[in-house]
């Protein structure tokens, strides 16, 4: 998917919501556990309930991989079920020496090889250029590079000084030598909204994947105010607050209500903060 197509969808749905499919068997409503593929059945109903409010879906690969071949099958079926206009993110946080990264890229981007055809994959920058560039050789596919993550441990490395800047700032600057803003996005946690101005100073045009609203407590308004650019430039992810809004038989209905609430807020922020 191109940046312009993504922006077009954001404008037409008045939303930059990414629904995170962190589908945990332990948390599924009991009545789904007897179905043939509970993870897929849950995802299918969540997708049906939220697709008018969401522009992207992000299956977190850990929740599928943990179940081996069966989990991988649930992932393939889920990806095939996501509406074609929606942007898809394999949240796999990969990255390794070049030839290995090339195979990771095939796993998520090459349907003839793996059966999966995601639009993007999350990648850790720690191993540097040759671990990231193999993902960038696929046309119309995106790398979403971890820059400033939402978790407490982000302070262990990401905010350390490297010369006159912080390590995450070096990630933002250096990686722009490897790919364009039509193929690279960055992860910036919603819990770090106070640092979004710093991020935007170094990456004004890039899309940012912003997890951490909802269950992790980040502010959607602050993220929108400090992070939005002229193509919106934001995909704000919420997983647990939407998909586990209810643990009963009404789970899909409640997920739709939560997604609609977030979308309504986003519509206001697009009016207020989209740079003209």
Residues that bind ligand OMP (CB under 6 A): 20, 22, 60, 91, 122, 149-151, 187, 189, 211-212, 214-216, 237-241
The one catalytic residue among 44, 77, 93, 225:
93
Least distance to ligand OMP, CB of residue 172, Å: 14
Q: Is 225 a catalytic residue?
A: no
Least distance to ligand OMP, CB of residue 124, Å: 9
Q: Are 157 and 166 in contact (CB under 8 A)?
A: no
Considering the complex, state which of residue 261 and residue 274 has its C-beta at the smaller distance from ligand OMP: 261
Least distance to ligand OMP, CB of residue 58, Å: 6
Continuous H helices in the chain: 3-13, 38-50, 62-65, 68-81, 98-109, 111-114, 129-132, 154-157, 167-175, 196-202, 220-227, 240-243, 251-273
Q: Are 108 and 90 in contact (CB under 8 A)?
A: yes
Considering the complex, state which of residue 198 and residue 239 has its C-beta at the smaller distance from ligand OMP: 239
Considering the complex, state which of residue 29 and residue 59 has its C-beta at the smaller distance from ligand OMP: 59
Considering the complex, state which of residue 92 and residue 116 has its C-beta at the smaller distance from ligand OMP: 92
Residue among 14, 37, 35 at smallest CA distance from 224 = 14
Question: How far, in Å, CA of 110 to CA of 127, rounded?
Answer: 23
Least distance to ligand OMP, CB of residue 276, Å: 30
Token pair 């030839």 in the structure block, residue? 99
Considering the complex, state which of residue 171 and residue 271 has its C-beta at the smaller distance from ligand OMP: 171
Least distance to ligand OMP, CB of residue 239, Å: 3
Residue among 245, 201, 196 at smallest CA distance from 45 = 245
Token pair 């959607």 in the structure block, residue? 220
Q: Six-digit token pair at 237?
A: 């992810």
Q: Are 109 and 138 in contact (CB under 8 A)?
A: yes
Active site residues: 93
């Amino acid at each position: 998917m191109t940046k312009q197509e993504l922006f077009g969808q954001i404008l037409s749905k008045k939303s930059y919501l990414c629904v995170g499919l962190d589908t945990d068997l332990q948390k599924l409503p009991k009545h789904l556990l007897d179905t043939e593929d509970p993870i897929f059945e849950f995802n299918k109903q969540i997708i049906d309930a939220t697709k008018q409010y969401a522009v992207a879906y992000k299956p977190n690969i850990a929740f599928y991989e943990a179940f081996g071949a069966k989990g991988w099958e649930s992932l393939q079926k889920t990806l095939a079920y996501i509406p074609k206009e929606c942007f898809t993110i394999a949240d796999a946080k990969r990255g390794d020496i070049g030839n290995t990264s090339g195979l990771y890229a095939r796993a998520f981007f090459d349907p003839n090889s793996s059966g999966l055809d995601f639009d993007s994959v999350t990648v850790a920058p720690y191993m540097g250029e040759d671990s990231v560039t193999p993902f960038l050789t696929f046309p119309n596919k995106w790398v979403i590079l971890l820059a400033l993550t939402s978790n407490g441990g982000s302070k262990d490395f990401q905010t350390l000084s490297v010369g006159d800047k912080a390590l995450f700032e070096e990630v933002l600057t250096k990686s722009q030598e490897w790919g364009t803003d039509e193929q690279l996005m960055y992860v910036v946690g919603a819990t770090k909204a106070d640092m979004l101005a710093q991020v935007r100073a170094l990456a004004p045009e890039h899309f940012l994947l912003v997890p951490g609203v909802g269950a992790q407590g980040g502010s959607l308004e602050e993220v929108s105010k400090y992070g939005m650019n002229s193509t919106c430039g934001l995909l704000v992810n919420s997983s647990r607050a939407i998909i586990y809004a209810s643990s009963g038989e009404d789970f899909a209905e409640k997920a739709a209500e939560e997604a609609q609430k977030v979308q309504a807020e986003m519509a206001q922020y697009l009016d207020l903060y989209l740079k003209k």
